[in-house]
Amino acid sequence: MTENLTPPFAGLTPDTLLDAVESTGLCASGSLLALNSYENRVYQVGMEEGPPIVAKFYRPARWSDTQILEEHAFSLQLAEREIPVVPPLTLNGATLHHSGGYRFALFPRRGGRVPELGDPATLEWIGRFLGRIHALGDTAAYVARPTLDIASFGEEPLAFLMSTATLPPELKEVYRGVAQQALDGVHRCYDRAGALRMRRLHGDCHVGNMLWTDDGPHFVDFDDSRMGPAVQDLWMLLSGEREERAGQLADVLAGYEDFCEFDLRELHLVEALRTLRLIHYGAWLARRWHDPAFPAAFPWFAGGRFWEEQILSLREQIALMDEPPLWRLP
């Protein structure tokens, strides 16, 4: 069920954490607050002088240094153009630091609330900034970071799950068959969309990675940034019945297309990307189960009901992927 039985953050004690922060030349007060993060470990760290900062310790072996630095460079480019993202701090000429066997980055602490996605003006505002992010993302390509595609988000995760004892024995072959049928549907969606332009994305643009203030949204956590179709950063903003989602999409694109042209063929991929996320999510939990934070946070994963619900969700996706996209294509 696991790839590595060693807990990845077993040695990250408060002293190790504070020593790492102070190795950059900053002076911490000793105040620590763990923030909600499972893939990495993220803490608010009090400073002797000035406001607290956020320290992000990267999961070992997930990204190479080169891949992390590519993401940092993209975030800094966005910030330089006054696009509201939260880039890492540059300290001693570096954004990525090493201490105690861990790699980490430090960020300014930015507050905010969850955006109200039921408000058309809010969606248009978010769309404008996503358009600006994608316009810059289109000016260069990631070299080291991967592309969001069927192989990495669907086929490989499914193969991993089938190679483990993760699923209850009575559900394993059922899940395999339904997931494979779903991937066939994903391939058909990609075929209908045709060849699309890949660009640098945020990659995980859900409401938890957007904070809202009176000045509008700002985007945090580019950890999943990769190459992919623009619609990957749009579809998670949509919810409700089909008519509601179509209206929300219209609001987002009203702002988005002020800065970046959107290829309507990408709408064929909305349900395909949702399907890939479902398969990838199950495999992600299975890969991380040796991390003590995961059984504590996701205790239901060890039971059969989760996989029964996943099978049902995939069957629903199979039907949805054969429906027309939200907008009629030209």
Q: How far apart are CA 308 and CA 232, in angstroms?
A: 26
Q: Which tokens is 184 given? A: 């066939």
* 224 labelled catalytic: no
Q: Comparing C-alpha atoms, which of 144, 175, 181, 149 is closest to residue 160?
A: 175
CB 116 within 8 A of CB 185: no
List Cα–Cα distances, 308 to 1, 165, 175, 178, 224, in angstroms: 18, 16, 8, 11, 28
List Cα–Cα distances, 198 to 5, 72, 156, 280, in angstroms: 36, 19, 20, 20
Q: Comparing C-alpha atoms, which of 203, 85, 74, 87 is closest to residue 137?
A: 74
For 80-105, the DSSP string reads: HTT--B-PPP-BTTBSSEEETTEEEE
Catalytic choice (204, 223, 251, 291): 204
Catalytic choice (65, 214, 221, 258): 221
* 221 labelled catalytic: yes
Ramachandran category for residue 201: left, alpha or beta (phi over 0 → left; psi -120 to 50 → alpha): beta
Q: Which tokens is 194 given? A: 């045709």
The letter for the amino acid at 93 is G
List Cα–Cα distances, 169 to 78, 90, 159, 172, in angstroms: 48, 50, 16, 5
| Active-site residue set | 204, 221
